[in-house]
A and B are shown apart, each in its own frame.
Chain A
Amino acid sequence: MQVFDVIKKRRSVRFYTDKAIEEDKLKKLVEAAIWAPSAGNIHAWNIVIVQRKEDIELIKAVSPGMLGNATALMILCADKRRAYDKGGEVGRDVLSIMDIAIATQNICLEATDLGLGSCIIRSFNQDAVRALLDLPENISPELVVSLGYPRSIPNPPPRRKIEDTVISWIKGESN
C-alpha cells in the first residue's frame, strides 16, 4: 500500500479474532518503531511485548482505556535515565515522550500494512503496569498498543478540514 493509503486505512481497532500474531510480524512492528525519528538519536525507548492471555487480562485490569480483546500488547516505555543522561530535563520530560508517540504511530501504520488492527492507549495506570511487569524505576510505561487480527473495523470518525487545521500559510514568492 502507498503510505497515504495506510495512513487513511488505520483505525483504532478494539475487537479481534483469536488468531495469534506471528512472531515475525511482531518483530517487524518493533523494527518499524526502531526506525522512527528520535530527538538527538537518543532512542530512549524500550518495548515490552505481551502475548499470554492471562497477562493481557492483568494489564487490562489496570488499563481502563483498554477495551476489547487484544491478542498482543506492545507497551512502549521511556528509559528516563537514558533520556536524561543524553538529553537533559527536556530529553527526559518532553522529547522521550514525543519520540515514543512517533514510534507508536510507526507501529500502528506497519500493523495496518500487515493486515493487523491496533489501538493506542494512554488511559492506564503507569505505576500499576510498572508493578505488574516488574519494570525498574527508570523505565516508564508511556503508551500501550493493543494488537490483533481485526474482527471488525470501525468506520472512520469525521476529521477536521484542511482549512480548519491550517491557521496560517505564509507562501513564498513562487506561490
Chain B
Amino acid sequence: MRGKIEEERLRYELLKLFCYIITSARGCIEEPKLYGPFRLIDSVERIITLFDSEGLADDFLKRERAKIEENKYLVMQDEKGFTKFLDELVIDFTTELKREKGGKGG
C-alpha cells in the first residue's frame, strides 16, 4: 500500500506536470505554431518519466522516451526531420496499442 508521504510526493509531481501543461496551453495561443507539437511531445516524455518514478514504465515506454529525448530538439532546426520523427512515433505507439489490444484478447 502506498504511504502518505509517497502520495503527497506524487501529487506534488502531478501538480508540477499540470502547471507545465496549463502554462504550455496558455503560451501556445501566442507562441510559434511549432511550439504546440513540441510541448505535447515533451508532455509525453514527462508523463513517462513520472510513470518511471512510480515503477510503471515498461521497456517500450522507456525506449520511446529515449527516442523523444533524442529527437525533440529537431523542432528548432529541422522541421521536416521533426515531422518525420513524429510520424515514426505515431506508428510506434499505434503498433503498441494494437499489440496491447491483441494481448487483451480484443
The total of interchain contacts (Cβ-Cβ below 8 angstroms) comes to 37
Seen from chain A, the residues whose Cβ lies within 8 Å of a Cβ on chain B are: 57-58, 60-65, 67, 123-125, 128, 154, 157-158
List A contacts of B24 (CB < 8 A): 64
Chain B facing A: main interface SS: helix
Measured as residues with beta carbon below 8 angstroms from the partner, the interface class of chain B is 10 to 19
Could you tell me if A64 and B27 are in contact, using CB atoms closer than 8 angstroms?
yes
Please pick, from B15, B19, B77, the residue contacting A128 in the complex, using a CB distance under 8 A.
B19
B99 on the A face (CB < 8 A): no
List A contacts of B26 (CB < 8 A): 125
Could you tell me if B23 and A62 are in contact, using CB atoms closer than 8 angstroms?
yes
> A123-B35, A157-B77, A158-B77 are known contacts. Are A63 and B23 too (CB-CB below 8 A)?
yes
Chain A facing B: main interface SS: loop
Could you tell me if A157 and B16 are in contact, using CB atoms closer than 8 angstroms?
no
Per-residue 0/1 for B5-26: is the Cβ within 8 Å of any A Cβ (1 yes, 0 no)? 0000000000111011001101
A66 closest partner in B (C-beta): B20
17 A/B residue pairs, CB under 8 Å, sorted by A: A60-B16, A61-B15, A61-B20, A61-B23, A62-B20, A64-B24, A64-B27, A65-B27, A123-B27, A123-B31, A124-B23, A124-B27, A125-B27, A128-B19, A157-B76, A157-B77, A158-B77
Could you tell me if A64 and B77 are in contact, using CB atoms closer than 8 angstroms?
no
A129 to chain B, nearest CB (A): 10
B40 to chain A, nearest CB (A): 11
